[in-house]
């Protein structure tokens, strides 16, 4: 089954929640489909986006929680663009053939973007 292969979970398995699983919004639905027994450091009633609810065994008073428990982001990192590549991009975006020269001011210096 796709869920079992992709997540490494087996039907009917007892699963301790880790950061990877706590970041899955559909965790309650997956737990219901695979008949998983979930455990974590805190006892929870875990609610999914569609209203699916599962019990997570743990310590302390049972709390209500909505998935995902941990929200993460993947930051965007862009390589620094070289002046030559920037000029080429501007030439592609601005029809340079209509004007003899296009100039920009960069760090106090004027630069020509005319086709060479």
What pLDDT shows up at residue 35?
92
Strands 103-106 and 53-66: unpaired
Runs of H (alpha helix) within 1-116: 2-7, 19-22, 27-33, 83-93
- For position 74, what pLDDT does the model report? 66
What average pLDDT score do residues 16-38 get? 90
pTM, rounded to two decimals: 0.57
Q: What average pLDDT does the chain have?
A: 82
More confident residue, 98 or 107: 107
> What is the per-residue pLDDT for 98?
56
pLDDT reported for residue 36: 92
Average pLDDT on 63-85 reads 83
Could you tell me what percent of the chain has a pLDDT over 70?
82
The reply to whether omega before 69 is within 30° of 0 (cis) is no
């Amino acid at each position: 089954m796709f869920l079992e292969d992709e997540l490494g979970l087996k039907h009917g398995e007892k699963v301790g929640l880790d950061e990877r699983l706590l970041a899955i919004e559909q965790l309650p639905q997956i737990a219901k489909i695979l008949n998983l027994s979930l455990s974590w450091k805190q006892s929870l009633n875990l609610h999914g986006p569609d209203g699916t609810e599962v019990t997570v065994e743990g310590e302390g008073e049972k709390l209500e929680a909505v998935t995902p428990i941990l929200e993460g982001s993947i930051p965007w990192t862009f390589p620094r663009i070289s002046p030559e590549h920037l000029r080429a991009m501007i030439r592609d975006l601005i029809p340079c053939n209509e004007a003899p020269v296009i100039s920009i001011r960069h760090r106090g210096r004027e630069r020509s973007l005319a086709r060479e």
